[in-house]
């Protein structure tokens, strides 16, 4: 089994994607290690500001209003690309890489500068072997957040 997993795609601004972990192997979980965003159209010609969230809950969390007290919020990311020479681009993210993933996640993306443009995204996950008790805790945590 691969030790790392990459999921990537292009999603319309304001829409969500399900990151499916339906083939979850008992005794293992995943840790999110990277959430990256990138422009999808007219690269280098427009200002853009893309944001994303990943949650383990039933509903997406709006990337423009993340709430770090929400236990289901696993990651937020922001990619800013401007015509400014002082700050041509910035990539920022906050990832809870201690959250063991055993169930599906929800990704939401928004481009606030060009809402009609879709957003490219990439997530990298690391596979982790869990003890029986750690797996039970991970499953319980995701169940309580989701339910």
**pLDDT at site 15:** 96
Provide the whole-model pTM. 0.86
Distance between CA 109 and CA 103 in Å, rounded?
A: 20
Total structural domains within the chain: 1
Q: What is the pLDDT of residues 125-137, one digit of tens each?
A: 999 998 888 888 8
Q: Is 85 helix (H, G, I), strand (E, B) or coil?
A: coil
Q: Which two tokens stand for residue 5?
A: 């997993």
**pLDDT at site 77:** 95
Closest CA to 42 of 102, 117, 109, 104: 117
Q: Which of the pair, 121 or 143, is modelled with greater confidence?
A: 121
Distance between CA 13 and CA 88 in Å, rounded?
A: 22
**pLDDT at site 67:** 92
Q: What is the pLDDT of residues 48-93, one digit of tens each?
A: 789 999 999 889 999 999 999 998 999 999 988 766 555 566 788 9
| CATH of residue 73 | 2.60.120
> What are the two backbone dihedrals, phi and then psi, of residue 139, each rounded to the nearest 5 degrees?
-65, -40
Domain interval for residue 99: 4-146
**pLDDT at site 42:** 65
Closest CA to 102 of 7, 30, 54: 30
Of the listed ranges 32-41, 88-97, 100-109, the least confidently predicted one is 88-97
Distance between CA 91 and CA 71 in Å, rounded?
A: 23
């Amino acid at each position: 089994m691969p030790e790392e997993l990459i999921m990537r795609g292009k999603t319309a601004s304001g829409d969500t994607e399900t990151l499916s972990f339906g083939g979850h192997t008992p005794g293992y979980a995943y840790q999110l290690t990277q959430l990256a965003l990138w422009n999808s159209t007219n690269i280098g010609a427009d200002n853009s500001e893309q944001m994303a969230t990943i949650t383990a809950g039933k509903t997406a969390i709006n990337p423009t209003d993340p709430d770090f007290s929400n236990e289901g919020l696993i990651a937020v990311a922001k990619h800013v690309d401007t015509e400014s020479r002082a700050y041509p681009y910035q990539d920022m993210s906050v990832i809870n890489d201690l959250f063991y993933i055993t169930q599906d996640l929800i990704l939401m993306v928004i481009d606030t500068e060009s809402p009609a443009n879709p957003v490219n995204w990439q997530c990298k996950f690391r596979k982790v072997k869990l003890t029986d008790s750690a797996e039970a805790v991970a499953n319980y945590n995701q169940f309580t957040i989701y339910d």
